Structure 1
Amino acid sequence: MDNVSIVRIFILTGLNETNNYRVALLTLTFLYYCMILFFNLTIIMIIILDKNLHEPMYILLCSFCINGLYGTAGFYPKFIFDLLSSSHVISYETCLLQAFVMYSFACSDLSILAVMAYDRYLAICRPLHYLSFMSKSRLSKMVCFSWITPLCIFSINVALTSRLRLCSTNIQKILCVNWIIVKLACPNANTIPNNIIAYFTIFLYLSHGIFVIWTYMHLIKTSVRSKDDRVKFMQTCVPHLASLTTFAATILFDMMNMRFGSTDLPQSLQNFISIEFLLIPPVLNPLIYGFKLTKIRHRILGFVHVEKK
């Protein structure tokens, strides 16, 4: 233990196979990140500037897009810089910060999706109580809960990771995640607190998923009763369900690969799996809501029509 040096820098070995097509990957990544910024900022600005959209569903959508910008900002600028550089390294502090951003972004997404499911449950299943339950004060508390809870949990998580003595500097990914850093700990390091927090976090956010399933059981049961409820379900719940399914699939796939995946998979495929949640949802979510939600679609089409004139 005494012979182990203190790690101050990590090597991202997942980027080793990008040398042959670095320019193409750099161009595509930059353009893709610009798309993410444009789509999400468009939805955010439309909701902020249009007072008719200052309703719980749209405010939650706005926070959803803001969280998407937060998560992608923790990955794409650093990844673009790595593609421009010949050495793929990241400092210890920056690696912990990126791990914190990645996890808090993912869990905030799930929390916001759970609140959005609750909002749709009240709107369709209990319309007479909707305004009293989804008051501005309660909505503000829910949004704050969606953001602050993951930030607090993963502050503890990263703090526990920072106390570990590490015996390796190689991260076989293109980004830092907390679980990978913990796996670099020396054999005699005490990782029990890290595991306790990890299982607590899994339980907490698994309960979010169970809550969403419960709300959709009631939503579907209520929606089949009348044509109006079916229309409302198709217009407002289908985008949410698509976002939830996409998010859950990408996160679950990454977690399963990270903990149980084979190292024999091609590095490029491992890289894709590890950043799916940063590739698909940040672009797909604003597109789904932009085209499916009538009010937002009309604002976008109206803006395009004005520009053509």
Structure 2
Amino acid sequence: MKNSTQVSYFILGAYSYSDTRLLIYLYFLIVLIFYISIICANVLLIVVICLNRSLHEPMYIFLCSLFVNELFGSTGLFPFLLVQILSDIHIVSAPFCFLQIYCLYSYGTIEFFSLTIMGYDRHLAICYPLQYNSRMTYNKIAVFTALIWIYSLLINFVALCLTLPLQLCGNIINKVYCDNYHVVKLACSDTSVNNLFGLAHVFTVILGLIILILYSYMKILKVCYYGSKQTRQKAFSTCTPHLASLLNFSFGVFFEIIQSRFNLNYLPNILRIFLSLYWLTCQPLINPLLYGFKMSKIRIVCRNLIFEGKV
């Protein structure tokens, strides 16, 4: 049996030591541009939704929560990534590593819950337009939003508490950021509780959310099939950004699972890094573009704010 211990730091082994300094600076510049773009786009839309009373509707309130989560997840990744790119020694302390794990996993959970509730909201708006305001009240919006954040932060805190006591046989994480799955793989002690907790979460919560999303869109498709042209246009204009965001996030998580669980060493290192970062980088950047350009009310208010200086 290998010697086990409580490690005080982790080594991020996915960084390539063969890259030239010029290439490293290029990576840094690309990541910095991504981060600045994400901050500007999401902050702009949060300000627009908060200041404009015509956007104080359920769909836009859920969007505001989604954009806040994009900032939360990006802040948990990008500053750390920028420092590591320029660093010659890719070492991170154990407390900071676990903090990053908590932030990134909480971001992913909140994102999935938010997209599910937004799909349910679109289902009510399209299938029950006359009853929408009575079914989706501001009290319900507040409860849904609070439950999304509280549950996500709590469930990931429990998962982290199960990881912290594990005795580890190594401290090398083959990624460019800290990841709970890779830390658990380093354990010499029993991880059955971690595995059972993960499976229970997947089958009771994640599967339930997937069923709710499928149910919502099946009802929407049924109404569109039998409904008027105006109903189909309303469904298309409001559901297209949500569906695109949902698929983009799902593909990103799928890429992450595939490259983490299976041996993809035959792929170039830069491609493996891209696959692991996709769900954390592209989603926060694509969402503001999807909703900002596709939804006319947001687009008009943004144009007035930028070019005329009023909301």
Please tell me the TM-score bracket, short chain as reference. over 0.9
C-alpha contact (below 8 Å) 1:17/1:268 kept by paired residues: no
Q: How does 1:1-309 map to 2 (within 5 A)?
A: 3-17=3-17, 19-20=19-20, 21-186=23-188, 189-203=189-203, 204-224=205-225, 225-306=227-308
Q: Number of aligned residue pairs: give it.
A: 305
**For 2:266, what is the secondary structure of its paired residue?**
coil
The Cα of 1:303 is off from its aligned counterpart by: 2.5
Change (3 A) 1:197 1:18: farther
After superposition, the C-alpha distances for 1:190-234 in whole angstroms (9 at most, x for unaligned) are 101100111122221122122101100110110231112111111
Q: Which amino acid aligns with 2:111?
A: D
Percent of aligned positions with the same letter in both sequences?
Answer: 36
- Give yes or no for contact 2:9–2:91 (8 Å, CA) kept in 1: yes
The residue type equivalent to 1:291 in the other structure is: F
Q: Which range moves more in the overlay, 170-179 or 224-233? A: 224-233
2:143 partner letter: K
> Which has the higher mean CA deviation after the structures are superposed, 16-25 or 175-184?
16-25
TM-score (norm 1): 0.95
Q: Which amino acid aligns with 1:253?
A: F
Over 6 Å off, 4+ runs: none
Which letter maps to 1:152?
Answer: L
Q: What is the CA-CA distance between 1:6 and the residue it aligns to?
A: 2.4
| Structure 1, unaligned runs of 5 or more | none
CA 1:17 to 1:221, structure 2 compared with 1: closer, same or farther past 3 Å?
farther
- Computed over aligned residues only, the root mean square deviation of the Cα atoms, in angstroms, reads 1.4
Q: Which moved more, 1:155-164 or 1:248-257?
A: 248-257
- Counterpart of 2:215, as a letter, is W
Residues 91/115 of structure 1: CA separation in 2 closer, same or farther (3 Å cut):
same
CA contact (8 A) 1:107 1:205 kept: no
**Partner Cα distance (1:172, 1:222) in 2:** 48
Residues 18 and 232 from structure 1, CA distance in 2 versus in 1: closer, same or farther, beyond 3 angstroms?
Answer: farther
What CA deviation, in whole Å up to 9, does each residue of 1:82-129 have, x standing for no partner?
122211111111111111111111111010011101111111101122
State whether residues 2 and 169 of structure 2, in contact with CA within 8 Å, keep that contact through their aligned partners in structure 1. Answer: no
Residue segments in structure 2 that go unaligned for 5+ positions in a row? none
Q: How much has 1:300 moved relative to structure 2?
A: 1.5
SS of the residue 2:88 aligns to: coil
**One-letter amino acid of the counterpart of residue 223, structure 2:** T
Q: CA deviation at 1:269?
A: 1.4
| TM-superposed deviation, 1:235 | 1.2
Deviates more, 1:296-305 or 1:268-277: 296-305
Change (3 A) 1:90 1:231: same
